[in-house]
Amino acid sequence: MSVVTKLRSPVKPMAESRAILCSTGNRFRPSKTEIAKKKPQQHPKPTKSPAPDSSVTSNFTASTDDSSSSSSSSERSSVKTTNSGRINTPTKKKRNGVTKLNNVVAVAAVKDISPEIPGPDKRCHWITPNSDPIYVLFHDEEWGVPVRDDKKLFELLVFSQALAEFSWPSLLHKRDAFRKLFEDFDPSAIAQFTEKKLLSLKVNGCLVLSEQKLRAIVDSAKSVLKVKQEFGSFSNYCWRFVNHKPLRNCYRYGRQVPVKSPKAEYISKDMMQRGFRCVGPTVVYSFLQVSGIVNDHLTGCFRYQECDVETEKQLRTPETVTELELHSP
């Protein structure tokens, strides 16, 4: 019993308050009586922080790069210093996943860094960035331009016939060879080709066309001479189907452009009756497109309006005016 009594002896009260472990560390916590005895102290009114020392500003400016952009300079001007010597940077706001600095205008800087570069002229849909340059040049300067020269029209008719076996880029690369072999597409000279001359064309490298096509070219040249006797020129014969004015098709997309038309079918039948060969509706429609008798440039293509301007210039020439007066109803 005596042992237990000794263990349960009362603990003597401490004369001083002990330190308590707070969230901010070991600090002395005074008792309530001591807090009540203390009088409330009057805190001085906050005063404006003095302006930063010029030496601090100069050191900060000297440490920056001389070639900094306008956005970095505006950001540097917004930096503030406190009495404790710390530098407060401008707060950042995040909006739609993009961090943006307050009081910093970055739009002008972006425009200066990446200016808008004008793109190329818009062309028809079948002209792509991977197209052959010679084909692009042909589209920009020749395709769809009204042609009224007999030799040029006959050349385009022969090329339209050859499209059944080859494409425009391959034909354009061989155009000079074609002109040399076919006497610069003079119908009067081609009409005199003999059987020996046709065989020589095959031997000399004109295997790009079949023998049937070669014979069709000679027969078509003879038909051109007959047409010239009746209508005065091959140009008058071709343009009379459209009243000597190009047809303007307002196609917006490449899929809308047909491979033949009722007008092409009618012209095809008339040409076959006059002795032309290999002049089906598809061949005739390709011939109408490339010769400018039909303007099939897409409405969004820059050549659509330019071909019309060139047509108006041709219609004002004395020769064209005379033709229109002779064939007008």
Q: Which CATH superfamily is domain 133-327 in?
A: Hypothetical protein; domain 2 (1.10.340.30)
Confidence of residue 198 (pLDDT cuts 50, 70, 90): confident
307 or 91, higher pLDDT: 307
Section 234-249 average pLDDT? 93
- Position 47 scores a pLDDT of 53
Residue spans of the domains in the chain: they are 133-327
- Position 34 scores a pLDDT of 54
97 or 124, higher pLDDT: 124
Q: Which residues contact 70 (CB under 8 A, 6 or more apart)?
A: 108, 109
- Cβ 274 vs Cβ 230: under 8 Å: no
Q: Is 139 annotated as a binding residue?
A: yes
Confidence of residue 78 (pLDDT cuts 50, 70, 90): very low
Q: Find how far residue 157's CA is from the centre of its chain.
A: 33
- Position 159 scores a pLDDT of 94
User: Per-residue pLDDT for 240 more than 60?
Assistant: yes
Q: Is 124 annotated as a binding residue?
A: yes
Confidence of residue 42 (pLDDT cuts 50, 70, 90): low
Note the pTM of the prediction, 2 decimals.
Answer: 0.60
- Position 44 scores a pLDDT of 54
54-63, 145-154, 205-214: lowest mean pLDDT where? 54-63
Residue 227: both structure tokens together? 């047409």
Section 320-324 average pLDDT? 52
Strands (E), the chain: 19-22, 25-28, 80-81, 87-88, 92-95, 98-101, 247-248, 294-295
pLDDT in tens, 279-312: 999 999 999 999 999 999 998 998 888 887 776 6
Give the ranges where 38-149 is alpha helix by DSSP (H): 54-62, 70-77, 107-113, 133-141
Q: Is 125 annotated as a binding residue?
A: no
Q: Is 206 annotated as a binding residue?
A: no
Confidence of residue 317 (pLDDT cuts 50, 70, 90): low
Please identify which residue in the block is written with the tokens 């005739």. Answer: 284
Strands (E), 33-189: 80-81, 87-88, 92-95, 98-101
- Position 211 scores a pLDDT of 82
User: Per-residue pLDDT for 85 more than 70?
Assistant: no
**What distances in angstroms separate CA 140 from CA 29, 30, 297, one per listed residue?**
91, 94, 10
Section 104-110 average pLDDT? 40
19 or 184, higher pLDDT: 184
Average pLDDT, the chain: 73
- Position 75 scores a pLDDT of 47
205 or 80, higher pLDDT: 205
